[in-house]
Structure 1
Amino acid sequence: MTALLDEHPRLGVECVLRELHIASSTYYRWRRAEREPCERRRRDVELTEQIRQIHADSGGIYGSPRVHAALKREDVHVGRKRVERLMGEADLAGISPRRKGFTRRDPKATLAPDLVNRDFTAPAPNRLWVTDLTMIATGEGPLWLSAIRDAFSRRVVAWETSARADADLVLSSLGCLSGHRETDD
């Protein structure tokens, strides 16, 4: 609205306001808000400067959770969502650390033979089982799941969980298979 009148000053404020059914007091309140921002907008400008400083001091690494924590340590009372919003408006973002894989293959070790030639299909039940080790994030730390599936039916035939991803976890999931026989109907 104010932009329209700024671009076309010859239209006249009162005529445009009358045509759009807008009270002149509303228009002048908008104009005053442009010149004199409210307390919240002034505080946002100050906070944005503090956020920029914290972000710069971190080498551009801190995201909104860490910036919020830093503000809290400095006794600045501000909500987490407000920090997120101000960082977004200021085009500031943290850098997530790269996740490194858990398994590293020894380059000198000989590879195990591929007995199925990457063909994970089976003509009947219990001819081929496949397994996977998966980490599940929990509030108490990682939980590891070792699951064994029948390639024919895709049903999980055995599984085991542990707080550690080691050979014992996989072996115990295999131990669950003792006595397992599915009918070949």
Structure 2
Amino acid sequence: MVNELKAKFSLRHLLKATGLPKSVYYYHRQALNQACPDEALKSQIEAIYHAHKGRYGYRRIMLTLRLSGIGVNHKRVQRLLCELGLRSKVRPKRYKSYKGEVGKVVPDLVKRKFTADKPNQKWVTDVTEFKVGEQKVYLSPVIDLL
């Protein structure tokens, strides 16, 4: 605000009106003119992130940078990723339903003879669970062992 009004009014009057010390004004003016020291690192982080299709988080990006010879702290990489608005894509865990022997084992009524002489003698079924989109779907086909 002071920089914009400096063309019309004297700096001394503007600083007095705003209550801003002269040293603070010059400090912020100099800080605005300086380039960000992290720009080169930001571009490298962004390149690594996009090269791996967003699957790398701050830990793997930090390790990649270190392997390329750039010593950088993990907190710095994490902060720069937040500034850039980049987040790693979390891959969903596969569903694992097997938990070993759970429940009781039913007796084998078919006695592992999976053929029948006539229709409607032996019917079998099995429940299968699988994922479609974001939902779990169950399939239980009934088969006549003819």
State the Cα deviation string for residues 99-158 of structure 1 (Å, max 9, x = none): 121117xxxxxxxxxxxxxxxxxxxxxxxxxxxxxxxxxxxxxxxxxxxxxxxxxxxxxx
Deviation at 1:11, TM superposition (A): 4.5
1:19 to 11, 17, 23: 17
Match of 2:83 among 79, 85, 89: 89
Q: In the TM superposition, what is the alpha-carbon distance from 1:82 to its structure 2 partner?
A: 0.8
Percent of residue pairs identical: 25
Give 1:26 deviation, angstroms.
2.4
Instruction: Give TM-score scaled by structure 2 length.
Output: 0.60
State the Cα distance separating 1:6 from its structure 2 match: 3.7
- C-alpha distance in 2 between matches for 1:93 and 1:12: 47
- The SS at the match of 1:50 is helix
- What is the CA deviation profile of residues 54-96 of structure 1, one whole-angstrom value per residue up to 9, with x for unaligned ones? 1111122211111111112112111111111101111111111
1:89 partner SS: helix
What residue in structure 2 maps to residue 166 of structure 1? Answer: 100
Query: Distance in 2 between the 1:15 and 1:70 partners?
Result: 53
Q: TM-score, normalised by structure 1?
A: 0.49
For 2:81 and 2:40, how far apart are their aligned partners in 1? 13
* Greater RCO (Cα-Cα under 8 Å, separation 6 or more): 2
Does the 8 Å CA contact 1:5/1:11 hold for their aligned counterparts?
A: no
Structure 1, unpaired ranges of 5+ = 105-164, 172-185
Question: What SS does the aligned partner of 1:16 have?
Answer: helix
Runs of 5+ consecutive residues of structure 2 not aligned to the other structure: 104-146
Is contact 1:64–1:83 with CA below 8 Å preserved after alignment?
yes
Q: Secondary structure at the match of 1:99?
A: coil
Is the aligned partner of 1:55 residue 2:49?
yes
Higher Cα Rg: structure 1 or 2? 2
Q: 1:33 aligns with which of 31, 48, 70?
A: 31
Query: What amino acid is the match of 2:80?
Result: L
